[in-house]
Amino acid sequence: MRWRRALVALVLGTLAAAAGVALARFAGDPGRADPVRAVSAGLRCPACQGESVADSRSPVAAAMRQVVADQLAQGRDEAEIRRWFVQRYGADVLTDPPARGARLLLWGVPVLALLAGGYAAVRTLRPGAVRTRAVRSGAARTDPARSCAVPTGPAAPGTPDVRGRRRAYRVASVGLVALVASVAIVADRLDPPARPAPADPVAVVLQLAHDLETQDRYDAAAQMYQEALRDRPDDGVRLRLAFALLRAGDGAAAQETARDVLTREPDSPDGLLVLGLAQRNSRSVEAGDTLRRFLAVAPAHPAAAEVRRLLATGPEPAGR
């Protein structure tokens, strides 16, 4: 039985070494000391190709890291933050989305096969089962009434029958390991780890900008809208940028963006609104005319009542 003890010692030593390596990696992982990086490493940057939010230097990734930091400060854990991003941007925002489809099926089959193989090994090779068969065989040989019966089990653990069972089990084990390896290779080919970025990265950026606005972080939101304009030069995005700039206190940039939209669509209600408000904040004499034109173009606009109130109170007071 020395070889069994040596085998057990080898297995235990291997497990201990693996545990030591895992602990060393865990202790040396800089992400553990930086919770923002640890969470960001599991998020994919929508503006980059194959980079995580933790590694990317893009403005989008910087904004996403800030969102992660804000949520950690609010007491949310990593799982809650990941769910928050998935709900808004889809599962592809994760660097390691959960297995699904053929990949999940192909990984489930070998697990079941391993469990079945382990159960068969316990039933076939456990010492109690071997001793029971040996006792039954010995009883059959010593019982006069069964002296002519053919033994139904091996006489001892070292008999050819037991050796044959063990040999068959070893061959089956090798085949099972080969099956698991083959399935892993096939699963990776069917569903490669390098998944593409989300289908519409601009939509992700716009949603992120909206989330930043709800947090009153208008400077960061304006930066996100500018990032979206690089890939989608749309007047709707420009108007959202103009409003973010106005709320961030950059009236000059807000006026410039609104005028850019109005050159293509002179009667744009939102363009006139943001231009008139920016002019009023800068105490321009043109503010009244622009806001009255806005009311003429869109008298039922949701902001019309507030604009009428502003016009009734007169120009923006000095010093604001």
pLDDT 10s digits, 86-107: 888 888 788 876 555 545 555 5
Q: What is the pLDDT of residue 58?
A: 83
Question: Alpha-carbon distance 257 to 268, whole Å?
Answer: 13
pLDDT value at 211 more than 70: yes
Residue-wise over 268-302: b if at least 16 C-beta within 10 A, else e? Answer: bbbbbbbbbbbbbbeebeebbebbebbbeebeebe
Please name which of 38, 37, 53, 36 lies closest in space to residue 198, comparing C-alpha atoms: 53
**One-letter amino acid identity for 55?**
D
Who wins on pLDDT, 196 or 40?
40
The rounded Cα 257 to chain-centroid distance in angstroms is 35
* Mean pLDDT for the stretch of residues 295-320: 83
The rounded Cα 303 to chain-centroid distance in angstroms is 39
Q: What is the pLDDT of residue 17?
A: 56
* Mean pLDDT for the stretch of residues 43-68: 84
Span of 30-34, 58-62, 79-83 with lowest mean pLDDT: 30-34
Q: What is the pLDDT of residue 269?
A: 95
In this structure, what token pair is assigned to residue 53? 């939010």
CATH 1.25.40.10 applies to domain 234-313: yes
319: three-class secondary structure by DSSP: coil
Could you tell me the residue ranges of all domains in the chain? 2-93, 102-190, 234-313
Q: What is the pLDDT of residue 252?
A: 94
Highest mean pLDDT among 27-41, 59-73, 104-118, 165-179: 59-73
How many C-beta neighbours within 10 Å does residue 190 have?
A: 12
What percent of the chain stands above pLDDT 70? 56
Q: What is the pLDDT of residue 318?
A: 47
The pLDDT-based confidence of 232 (bands split at 50, 70, 90) is confident
pTM of the model: 0.57
Please name which of 209, 279, 225 lies closest in space to residue 251, comparing C-alpha atoms: 279
pLDDT value at 166 more than 70: no
CATH for 2-93 is 1.10.8.640
Residue 202 near residue 57, CB atoms below 8 Å: no
The pLDDT-based confidence of 204 (bands split at 50, 70, 90) is confident
What percent of the chain stands above pLDDT 90? 27
Q: What is the pLDDT of residue 172?
A: 61
Measured torsion, CA atoms of residues 178, 182, 185, 191, in degrees rounded to the nearest 10: -140
Who wins on pLDDT, 259 or 33?
259
Please name which of 77, 7, 4, 1 lies closest in space to residue 42, comparing C-alpha atoms: 77
How many C-beta neighbours within 10 Å does residue 204 have?
A: 26
Residue 261 near residue 268, CB atoms below 8 Å: yes
Residue 281 near residue 251, CB atoms below 8 Å: yes
Span of 7-21, 209-223, 261-275 with lowest mean pLDDT: 7-21
Question: Alpha-carbon distance 15 to 74, whole Å?
Answer: 39
pLDDT value at 73 more than 80: yes
In this structure, what token pair is assigned to residue 87? 């709900």
Who wins on pLDDT, 58 or 133?
58
44: three-class secondary structure by DSSP: strand
Question: Alpha-carbon distance 127 to 115, whole Å?
Answer: 20
Q: What is the pLDDT of residue 197?
A: 47
pLDDT value at 244 more than 70: yes
* Mean pLDDT for the stretch of residues 202-217: 86
C-alpha distances out from residue 252 to 23, 255, 264, 291, Å: 56, 5, 19, 17
pLDDT value at 83 more than 80: yes
